[in-house]
Structure 1
């Protein structure tokens, strides 16, 4: 049987037809979808052609995760406590510097702070568990009582996640999609920890060398569907699972662009969608912006494109600038602003 995939064509116009349905219970809506079938060009279909299981997953409101509601696009601020991350390695690896940067991001509009102690940039090597814990543990303890917003731990390893959660982290964000350490998903399930599951093809050491896909958008969807199903079977409710298509992780520029163009497909998983494209290499190659710290404008352009497809969480380095851009997008789109 040929698998069919339904991508809602998301609109935010105030002139909303009576028969329109909500996207993920939010302000976006749709009256048509793109039907994707492997080996054929997508075609537009109306609501009557979309199966009930797809409609239910696309339209259902997303429950809060780690206390964060999804009534508007939320920002996850990146806090790398590594010496070698591709954009900001070495800047925040001392706990006092990390705290100051986290406080700045919180003041600037971050809804979550994502703390990572292992670089997973293309070509990076695995960090020993003890070294990763030594990087993240003092930072988490420094932030725990200071920032006032949830912390996420960006790790592939159960032992690191355990230390982080015991220290106050409220979410586990695994760039391997829970394929690296089988114990990590079990730990999260047994301790009722919400998770973010990301797609990556290959390990960080080699993922950039020659990634291959049949249909990248549908291949990534299938992977995330399988992993969400696995996590549910372990006892993690779908309502507490975030999905991330993994921009730049084992993907060339055409792969990244295909995913960005079709982001709304991932609403069909019934989970909040996270996009992490901030300052990544494809932005530099398309725009000519080098080094990575010069890619803020391109990152904001991608973030606004994601918001226009109903993405719930945008993971960024440049929190203040992205928050400002989203505020203007909301004001223009909905007239949502405070004129007092």
Structure 2
């Protein structure tokens, strides 16, 4: 299997996505209430140590998030978010060489993050919760992850209503992508994400996973964040297996459907799967 070669412009560097393996974005939540690791990395030293370990383990990017955007989460004001983020971002920027992503939907937080060396803004709202964020990204010369969602975290599951979830999410992402272009964010700076779990129920998530190749028509690299999501948790519990097995299955399916980046919590499992996929197309094996 060979995919069309894609590039991502992060301003200071141009990334080329390899055709034979996914890239991995390791997640560090600087929050007390994230669904996966809330509270574990509130200490800046612990968080920066974790980031360094992730880099040494083989991730391609690290994503720092200082506000939980899980369904049902309460909002955090921008001052608190910046207070949580800055000490970790500064430490990471001083120690790490991999690109750093900041998971935020706020213009003010994005501006500070870019000033402090963030390479990527990962916006779960797709510019919908604080419209000023698009102008900040446009002027910031950084990469942008455009995520599909509806509503706000506190009540987004009320908006999990679709006739055809694949085509509606595709249309909404297409519209958001055009809006980004209209404000001056160059297309080559954008990666798209269908937003698993954000205003989607279990059936919606499965349909999107099955049809991820539809989103190749957006003309941009794709990222997925299925790691430890509830629809996979349900399958893991039903069969009495570790959630990371389900994560790896879903991520591998996504890779074969054209996805370029896995956003993950369990770095070790993802790196092992990534290395195995790459080995499948080792030129020595093909001879």
TM-score range, shorter chain: over 0.9
- 1:79-98 → structure 2 map (5 Å cutoff): 79-98=28-47
Correspondence list, 1:271-310, <5 A: 271-288=220-237, 294-310=242-258
Q: Does 1:263 align with 2:207?
A: no
1:190 correspondence with 2:134: no
* Distance across 2 between alignment mates of 1:171 and 1:288: 34
Structure-1 separation of matches of 2:104 and 2:242 = 26
Quick one: distance in 2 between partners of 1:132 and 1:224? 26
Q: Is the 8 A contact 1:115 1:153 kept in 2?
A: yes
Contact 2:8 2:191 (C-alpha < 8 Å) held by counterparts: no
TM-score (norm 1): 0.79
* Secondary structure of the corresponding residue to residue 145 of structure 1: helix
> Which structure 2 segments of 5+ residues have no match?
none
Describe the SS at the equivalent of 2:101: strand
Listed one character per residue, the Cα deviations across residues 270-289 of structure 1 (whole Å, up to 9, x for unaligned) are 11100000011111112217
Partner of 1:335: 282
Partner of 2:151: 202
Distance, in Å, in 1 between the alignment partners of 2:37 and 2:239 is: 13
Partner of 1:171: 120
Per-residue Cα deviation, 1:259-308 (whole angstroms, up to 9, x for no partner): 000001111011110000001111111221799x9521111111111111
Q: Give the whole-Å Cα distance in 2 for the aligned partners of 1:76 and 1:102.
A: 11
Shift of 1:190: 1.8
Aligned equivalents of 2:173 and 2:191: distance in 1?
10
Paired residue secondary structure (1:85)? coil
**Deviations for 1:210-242, whole angstroms, at most 9, x for unmatched residues?**
610011001111111001111111111111111
CA contact (8 A) 1:77 1:319 kept: yes
Higher helix share: 2
2:17 paired residue number = 70
| C-alpha separation in 2, matches of 1:144 and 1:210 | 37
Cα distance in 2 for residues equivalent to 1:228 and 1:263: 17
**C-alpha distance in structure 1 between counterparts of 2:272 and 2:9, whole Å:** 24
Q: Per-residue CA shift, 1:150-209, capped at 9, x if unaligned?
A: 100100101111111111101111001110111100111122222111011221111224
Preserved contact between residue 110 and residue 121 of structure 2 (Cα < 8 Å): yes
Per-residue CA deviation, residues 4-25 of structure 1 (Å, 9 max, x unaligned), is xxxxxxxx1xxxxxxxxxxxxx
Distance 1:187 1:209 in 2: 30
Specify the SS of the correspondent of 1:254: helix
Among 181, 192, 195, which residue is 2:130 paired with? 181
Which of residues 151, 168, 173 is equivalent to 1:219?
168
RMSD, aligned α-carbons: 1.9
TM-score, length basis structure 2: 0.93
Structure 1 gaps, min length 5? 1-11, 13-26, 29-58
* CA distance in structure 2 between the aligned counterparts of 1:122 and 1:230, rounded to whole angstroms: 25
> CA 1:110–1:328 in structure 2 vs 1: closer, same or farther (change >3 Å)?
same
Q: Is the 8 A contact 1:284 1:290 kept in 2?
A: no
Q: Would the aligned equivalents of 1:77 and 1:315 in 2 still touch at CA under 8 Å?
A: yes
Query: Over alpha carbons, which structure has the higher Rg?
Result: 1
Name the structure 2 match of 1:326: 274
Contact 1:330 1:336 in 2 (8 A): no
SS at match of 1:130: helix
Deviation at 1:104, TM superposition (A): 1.1
